[in-house]
């Protein structure tokens, strides 16, 4: 084996080992039914049915609507195999986005709508449409741009099957608006590896 072939083999082995070691970490925060079954419960955890991900902004305060649009354009649309777009009607939208003062203790949450269809099997069980609800009962969580961006990024991630992450460099890090407001590279890799554009 010549020097070049040995170098190629060594690099391939190192990449294989890196992927094997990274596998459990990369896969730890994606997929359905990690904590809550993918069903009609408000805390259900589903994924999207494909990488074409459309959303409709219903009753959403203008600043939070802007944060939702920005996270779609800046965080999710650049991900390979994910394309997100805003629709002007809830008809055919994958995600319905609303806000209000809800009795929940959550700042925001994602769940399947009462009109949802289901398919697939865990960890790829999906529902469509899903709903994002921004809870304005906690106004101090929505009064600054970084807070709005963090919450929008996290909830949009949930609609694609991303779960909370232990990585403070990810917007999927739970309940901490001082964490990053962006999608971390490993989250983007999970999405690009698990979705397709039909």
Residue 110: partners with Cβ closer than 8 Å, 6 or more residues away = 130, 131, 132, 133, 155, 158, 159
For residue 11, being part of any structural domain is answered with no
Enumerate the H helices of the chain as residue ranges.
3-27, 62-71, 145-159, 185-194
- 103 vs 28, residue with greater confidence: 103
**pLDDT, position 43:** 86
For residue 16, being part of any structural domain is answered with no
For residue 151, being part of any structural domain is answered with yes
Among 27-41, 88-102, 152-166, which stretch is predicted with the lowest mean pLDDT?
Answer: 27-41
Q: What is the percentage of the chain residues whose pLDDT exceeds 70?
A: 86
**pLDDT, position 27:** 55
For residue 103, being part of any structural domain is answered with yes
Q: What is the pLDDT of residues 70-85, one digit of tens each?
A: 999 999 999 999 999 9
**pLDDT, position 111:** 95
For residue 12, being part of any structural domain is answered with no
For residue 13, being part of any structural domain is answered with no
**pLDDT, position 1:** 52
Q: Are 27 and 123 in contact (CB under 8 A)?
A: no
Domain interval for residue 36: 30-191
For residue 8, being part of any structural domain is answered with no
Nearest CA to 116 out of 20, 48, 162 is that of: 48
CA angle 106, 168, 145 (to 5 degrees): 60
For residue 87, being part of any structural domain is answered with yes
- Residue 167, phi-psi category: left (phi > 0), alpha (psi -120 to 50), beta (remainder): beta
* pTM of the full structure: 0.85
Structure tokens belonging to residue 152: 């929008």
Label residue 93 by pLDDT band (50, 70, 90). Answer: very high
Query: Which CATH number does the domain housing residue 106 bear?
Result: 3.40.390.10
Total domains in the fold of the chain: 1
Structure tokens belonging to residue 137: 């009962």
Judged against a pLDDT cut of 70, whether residue 13 lies above it is answered with no
Residue written as token pair 């970490």: 25
Report DSSP state, residue 162. B
């Amino acid at each position: 084996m010549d020097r070049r072939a040995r170098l190629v083999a060594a690099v391939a082995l190192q990449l294989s080992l890196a992927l094997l070691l990274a596998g459990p970490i990369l896969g730890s925060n994606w997929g359905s039914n990690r904590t809550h079954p993918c069903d009609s419960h408000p805390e259900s955890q589903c994924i999207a049915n494909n990488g074409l991900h459309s959303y409709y902004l219903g009753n959403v305060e203008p600043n939070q609507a802007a944060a939702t649009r920005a996270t779609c354009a800046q965080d999710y649309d650049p991900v390979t195999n994910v394309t997100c777009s805003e629709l002007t009607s809830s008809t055919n939208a994958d995600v319905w986005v609303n806000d209000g003062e809800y009795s929940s203790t959550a700042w925001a949450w994602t769940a399947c709508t009462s009109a949802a269809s289901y398919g697939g099997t865990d960890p790829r069980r999906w529902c469509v449409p899903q709903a994002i609800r921004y809870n304005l009962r906690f106004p101090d969580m929505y009064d600054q741009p970084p807070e709005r961006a963090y919450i929008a990024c996290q909830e949009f991630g949930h609609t694609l099957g991303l779960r909370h992450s232990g990585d403070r460099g990810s917007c999927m890090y739970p309940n901490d608006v001082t964490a990053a407001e962006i999608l971390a590279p490993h989250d983007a890799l999970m999405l690009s590896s698990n979705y397709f554009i039909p």
